[in-house]
């Protein structure tokens, strides 16, 4: 699922995605190469959802494999069913087989936009199903969908 961010930041989108994934019984890896982003996500997940803390950990701790949500830049060692890619992070080998791969990208950044287009082409070229979501109208709307080959 590709999320073209033009109005919301990644934190706001994750506030929608993560509770749903956890309610489905999934574990999730949040991957970003940006250390400052990982720190902001860690702080934000202590406050979201409004009723309290969203269970998570930061990569490199003694309980990485047990975390419902793991924030880092490496492999999904927590048995994830889904991976969120932020800040140009790439999927790792085998992640195409996950239940869900979310790609969140800044639609106001031409470099990020081109990278997301390239990833769409690569992943759909592998036969993966994909959806492209946009918030240009002020609410999330699926603009296109590719069915699996």
What distance in Å separates the CA atoms of residue 26 and residue 72, rounded to the nearest whole number? 17
The maximal CA–CA distance of the chain, rounded, in angstroms, is: 43
pLDDT higher at 149 or 17 = 17
- pLDDT number for residue 109: 94
Mean pLDDT of the chain, nearest integer: 91
Q: Is the pLDDT of residue 48 over 70?
A: no
- pLDDT number for residue 54: 83
- What is the band of 148 on the pLDDT scale with cuts at 50, 70, 90? confident
Q: Is the pLDDT of residue 50 over 80?
A: no
What distance in Å separates the CA atoms of residue 29 and residue 76, rounded to the nearest whole number? 6
Domain boundary assignment for the chain: 2-146
Predicted TM-score (pTM) above 0.85: yes
- pLDDT number for residue 16: 87
Q: Is the pLDDT of residue 49 over 70?
A: no
What distance in Å separates the CA atoms of residue 34 and residue 119, rounded to the nearest whole number? 19
Fold of 2-146: Rossmann fold (3.40.50)
What is the tens place of the pLDDT at every residue in 77-128? 999 999 999 999 999 988 877 899 999 999 999 999 999 999 999 999 988 8
């Amino acid at each position: 699922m590709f999320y073209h961010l033009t109005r919301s930041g990644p934190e706001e989108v994750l506030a929608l995605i993560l509770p749903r994934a956890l309610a489905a019984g999934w574990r999730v890896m949040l991957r970003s190469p940006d250390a400052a982003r990982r720190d902001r996500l860690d702080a934000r997940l202590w406050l979201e959802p409004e009723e309290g803390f969203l269970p998570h950990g930061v990569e490199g701790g003694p309980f990485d494999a047990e975390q419902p949500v793991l924030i880092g830049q490496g492999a999904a060692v927590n048995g994830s069913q889904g991976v969120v890619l932020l800040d140009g992070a790439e999927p790792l080998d085998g992640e195409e087989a996950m239940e869900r791969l979310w790609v969140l990208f800044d639609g106001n950044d031409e470099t990020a936009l081109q990278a997301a287009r390239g990833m769409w082409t690569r992943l759909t070229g592998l036969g993966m199903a994909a959806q492209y979501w946009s918030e240009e109208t002020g609410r999330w709307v699926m603009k296109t969908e590719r069915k699996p080959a």
